[in-house]
A = this chain, B = another copy of it.
């Protein structure tokens, strides 16, 4: 079961990797639809959300704490000086590599242990608030934005 959920996450990660391998800078800088987010914003958003999984899953500190404000708390175009596409692509690859190593080293028991945003008391009542649930939810989040990024395909 754990393997299926990790495979499902990896499949979505590979879909993002394919876009990184094929999209031009012009595609990344295009809005996915009129007056909506640009590809570059969504890429930064996905890195920022990956990075937040580290503390949420109890894996330690964020590696790119500066990204969350620019690519999640604030909307697209609110900040003028964004990190470059090359930096974001490098950060994406690092974030998924870090997560993959951590995911592969968790035991099934650790997958079903609580994540850090739930108290012991609440977890006793709501045992589904565990690490496995976080990855299920983040996999859907990746798929959601992939549906948007794929609109930039030629």
Q: Interface on A for B, CB 8 Å cutoff?
A: 1, 3-5, 7-8, 11-12, 32-34, 36, 112, 128, 132-133, 136-137, 139-141, 143-148, 151
Q: Which of B12, B132, B133 contacts A140 (CB 8 A)?
A: B12
Q: Which of B7, B33, B137, B146 contacts A144 (CB 8 A)?
A: B146
Q: How many copies does the complex hold?
A: 2
**At the interface, is chain A mostly helix, strand, loop or mixed?**
helix
For A112, the chain B residues whose CB sits under 8 A away are: 1
Is the beta-carbon distance between A147 and B143 smaller than 8 angstroms? Answer: yes
Known: A148-B148, A148-B151. A4 touches B143 (CB 8 A): no
Q: Which chain B residue lies CB-closest to A1?
A: B1
Is the beta-carbon distance between B34 and A136 smaller than 8 angstroms? Answer: no
Complex A-B, nearest 6 residue pairs according to Cβ-Cβ distance, in ascending order: A147-B147, A144-B147, A33-B33, A140-B143, A143-B143, A33-B151
For A141, the chain B residues whose CB sits under 8 A away are: 143
Q: Which chain B residue lies CB-closest to A141?
A: B143
Q: Which chain B residue lies CB-closest to A153?
A: B36
Known: A143-B144, A151-B148. A137 touches B33 (CB 8 A): no
Of the candidates A11, A143, A147, the one having the most CB atoms from chain B within 10 angstroms of its own CB is A147
Is the beta-carbon distance between B136 and A8 smaller than 8 angstroms? Answer: yes
Is the beta-carbon distance between A151 and B32 smaller than 8 angstroms? Answer: yes
Is the beta-carbon distance between B140 and A8 smaller than 8 angstroms? Answer: yes
